[in-house]
């Protein structure tokens, strides 16, 4: 089959494809310790609330039709956007309304739209890029550009801490956005590392973006006010130069495929137009299911009292299991400040993280090789990229603990 340039780019093997194929195969086959995916945990209290709310929808013909029987507007389900705008205005005092909010067919699609809206080949000539000031970053960014080279990235400063922990920090001295910068993008908390940029780092990045005349894109899929998988005390800021991206996936609803973009109106209008062309309308299942829980504050309560404590407790246990299993090995754990992953660094690992991934896969343990998480640094020879793996702790405790034990065995075997 003779594919177009577009077809060749998106039909090739990617980290995102490997991740989702592994996830799908593990779910279908069973018996695999799935420590590589980003699927949220099954939290019984949370699922009970969603089942109860779904029953309400089934009993209300109008909501049922809105959920399944009618197209929503291209910007997304109107009542949900109204409820979200009202909540954000009340919670944070932000000056916005539904016209500042667009829904997308999942966050991944939203980033595809945003990045290609702002960066790439420009009408007057030239090429603009998205600057990632701190790598490692989310695996899904790297292949979203319609053309190659859409990202420029910076190495982090590495802060070595006690008890075999470490933390990445933005190297502001090396940041220096170029004239070809179309936007600056960070995730907070960061997937894959669980890093939470400080309020000071976010303020400095926002100031740099505004001074350069480009937006700051904040991937807030794990952040405040929902799902609130954040274990440090931080503030959330938005203004007309920030594009804040959220999701319904990590509150336990990944299959509804609903991303949320909060931005100034001209960006929302552009995304709305793109939605109409790409999909006519975006799914309404998640928004209709959650609109009442959002309006009455229940979603915020669940995030604060159920979701965050569940993941924080699991993160602490997973760190303990890593220390127990890897005792005597050369390893470090990125300080887990949020999200649902541990980022493990094996300094001087004699095999690459991709080879370690293959060896673990052969033993029924699926992780993700760290080299996928450095978009924009592909041409740089930095050994650190090949010494890290991402491990999720969202699965059941027995699976996570046994998976970590097997990881330790393979690391020891590799080290000889």
DSSP readout, 240-263?
Answer: TTEEEEEESGGGT-GGG--EEEE-
SS (H, E, C) 333-397: EECCCECCEEEEECCCCCCCHHHHHHHHHHCCEECEEHHHHCCCCCCCCCHHHHCEEEEECCCCH
In which residue ranges of the chain is CATH 3.90.1150.10 found? 5-46+301-415
In which residue ranges of the chain is CATH 3.40.640.10 found? 73-299
Query: What pLDDT, on a 0 to 100 scale, did the predictor assign at position 377?
Result: 84
d(CA 366, CA 355): 12
Name which of 352, 332, 374, 350 is nearest 159 in CA terms.
Answer: 332
Which one-letter DSSP state was computed for residue 147?
S
Query: What pLDDT, on a 0 to 100 scale, did the predictor assign at position 1?
Result: 83
Query: What pLDDT, on a 0 to 100 scale, did the predictor assign at position 379?
Result: 59
Averages of pLDDT over each 10 residues, the chain, 416 residues: 86 73 66 87 97 98 97 97 97 97 97 97 94 95 90 96 98 95 98 97 98 98 98 97 98 97 98 96 97 97 98 98 97 98 97 96 95 83 94 95 98 91
Architecture (CATH level 2) of domain 73-299: 3-Layer(aba) Sandwich (3.40)
Query: What pLDDT, on a 0 to 100 scale, did the predictor assign at position 27?
Result: 59
Crossing angle between the packed helical segments 107-118 and 265-279, to the nearest 10 degrees: 120
Look up tokens 């093997």; give the residue. Answer: 13
d(CA 234, CA 198): 7
Q: How many residues does the chain have?
A: 416
Architecture (CATH level 2) of domain 5-46+301-415: Alpha-Beta Complex (3.90)
């Amino acid at each position: 089959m003779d594919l177009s340039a577009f077809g060749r780019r998106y039909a090739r093997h990617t980290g995102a494809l490997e991740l989702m194929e592994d996830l799908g195969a593990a779910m279908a086959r069973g018996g695999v310790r799935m420590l590589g995916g980003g699927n949220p945990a099954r939290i019984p209290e949370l699922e009970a609330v969603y089942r109860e709310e779904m029953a309400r929808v089934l009993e209300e013909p109008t909501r049922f039709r809105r959920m399944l029987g009618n197209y929503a507007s291209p910007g997304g389900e109107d009542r949900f956007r109204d409820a979200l705008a009202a909540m954000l205005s009340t919670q944070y005092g932000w000056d916005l309304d539904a016209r500042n909010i667009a829904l997308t067919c999942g966050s991944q699609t939203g980033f595809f739209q945003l990045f290609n809206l702002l960066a790439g080949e420009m009408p007057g000539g030239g090429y603009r890029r998205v600057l990632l000031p701190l790598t490692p970053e989310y695996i899904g960014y790297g292949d979203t550009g319609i053309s190659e080279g859409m990202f420029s990235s910076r190495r982090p400063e590495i802060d070595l801490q006690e008890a075999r922990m470490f933390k990445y920090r933005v190297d502001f001295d090396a940041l220096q956005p170029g004239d070809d910068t179309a936007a600056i993008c960070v995730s907070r908390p960061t997937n894959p590392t669980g890093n939470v940029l400080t309020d000071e780092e976010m303020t400095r990045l926002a100031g740099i973006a505004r001074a350069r005349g480009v937006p700051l894109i904040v991937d807030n899929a794990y952040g405040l006010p929902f799902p609130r998988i954040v274990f440090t005390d931080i503030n959330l800021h938005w203004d007309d130069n920030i594009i804040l991206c959220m999701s319904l996936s990590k509150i336990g609803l990944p299959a509804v495929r609903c991303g949320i973009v909060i931005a100034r109106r001209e960006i929302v209008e552009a995304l709305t137009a793109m939605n109409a062309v790409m999909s006519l309308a975006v799914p309404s299942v998640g928004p209709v299911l959650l609109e009442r829980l959002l309006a009455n504050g229940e979603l915020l309560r669940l995030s604060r009292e159920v979701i965050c404590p569940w993941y924080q407790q699991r993160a602490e246990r997973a760190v303990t299991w890593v220390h127990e299993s890897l005792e005597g090995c050369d390893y470090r754990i990125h300080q887990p400040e949020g999200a649902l992953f541990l980022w493990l660094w094996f300094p001087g690992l004699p095999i690459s993280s991709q080879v370690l991934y293959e060896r673990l896969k052969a033993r029924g343990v699926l992780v993700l090789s760290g080299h996928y998480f450095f978009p924009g640094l592909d041409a740089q020879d930095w050994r650190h990229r090949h010494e890290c793996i991402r491990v999720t702790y969202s699965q059941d405790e027995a699976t996570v603990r046994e998976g970590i034990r097997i990881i330790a065995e393979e690391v020891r075997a590799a080290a000889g």
